Amino acid sequence: MLDVSVIIPVYNAGPFLEKAVRSAIQFEEVREVILVEDKSTDHSLEICRKLALEYHKVVLYQHPDKENHGAGATRNLGIEKATGNFITFLDADDYYLPNRFDAEKEIFNDPKIEGVFGAIGIEYLTEKGKQEYQSKFKDAPLTTVNYHAEGEEVFRGLMSLTPKTFGTFFHLNALTIRKSAVNKNNLRFNVNLRVHQDSDFNIKLAYHCYLKSGIIDQPVAVRGIHDDNRITKIIQYSPQYNQRQYLYWKSLYDWAKAAHIPAEYKNRIYLSYTSFNLSLKKGLTKYCGIIWEAIKNPEILKTKYRFNYYR
């Protein structure tokens, strides 16, 4: 049977936290629900303490200095504290569905499989959140990939290096990984990324570990959409958006160099990193940079790269 540690980073999640925790503790596969409270300014810490007293599976941690460190560092602390053989994540404003571990119970019988990912759905919790989400994501009912894949095909798909479109993202809420694989490859969230640390982690995980798709045509968890979702507030191709994309791709490029990944993969990352880097330049510096990069890498003139720095 699976032996799972569920890691929930908690920051200002008072209205949602109890539902998230109760959705996780219902499973016999769940050994513990780890709440890592990140110096909330609402009453989240009080709720965490209440839940830890109420349920024996719930354990509460804070950063040693009791300060706010962001989602990446908070999840990393959860990884360090996890005692289960498997790790899953759950955002404090989201919740698991009853089929959350159905695929894992079968797939993890194969010892070579180190991680399983599935699809998540959405639930609108506020009208403003709904409008912001739909304006950006066109009311997509599922966050998922387009076809089943495993092994290197998952990484290639996330890097848009497959003949057909795989999909560029799967959500942490639908990911289950062996803790041994995380530790063996020294995989942690980049604490310098305030957003996109989940995508950054998933890309690195897909390269270093053998992942397999689970249930991708129906949700295994639900994401709550409300006024304070950070990802919906960023205007695409705005300076703020380009800056955050630049930091994300820089993190991947620095990793690609250090990990000595194959040139095909490193070049794909380099082109996106350079494109967003150029988008932050101005005037003559920007256009000289575009010309120089086009001479070195003509592929950077393709639409999927150039829209970033032409705006």
Confidence of residue 237 (pLDDT cuts 50, 70, 90): low
CA 113 to CA 116: how far, in whole Å?
8
Q: Where are the beta strands (DSSP E) in 45-153?
A: 58-62, 86-89, 95-96, 115-117, 119-124
- With tokens 């397999």, the residue in question is 212
- Residue 33: in which H helix or E strand, if any? strand 30-37
Residues 205 and 114 in one domain: yes
Regarding whether 93 and 74 lie in a shared domain, the answer is: yes
Domain boundaries, position 286: 239-309
Q: Residue 32: which CATH number?
A: 3.90.550.10
Indicate the residue among 214, 233, 252 that finishes a domain: 233
Convert the pLDDT of each residue in 84-142 to its tens digit.
999 999 999 999 999 999 999 999 999 999 999 999 999 888 878 777 777 777 767 89
132 and 68 share one domain: yes
Q: Are 212 and 290 members of one domain?
A: no
Rounded CA-CA distance 247/262 in Å is 22
Q: Which of 202, 233, 264 is the last residue of a domain?
A: 233
Q: Which residues contact 210 (CB under 8 A, 6 or more apart)?
A: 112, 113, 114, 115, 150, 151
- Longest Cα–Cα distance of the chain, Å, equals 64
What's the pLDDT band for 197 if we cut at 50, 70, 90?
very high
Name the domain count of the chain. 2
Neighbours of 264 (CB within 10 A): 10
- Residue ending a domain, choose from 189, 206, 233: 233
Are 193 and 63 within one domain? Answer: yes
Q: What is the mean pLDDT of the chain?
A: 92
3-state SS assignment for residue 6 = strand
Work out whether the CA dihedral 132, 138, 141, 145 comes out positive or negative. Answer: negative
Whether residues 208 and 78 share a domain: the answer is yes
Looking at the fold, whether 229 and 89 belong to one and the same domain comes out as yes
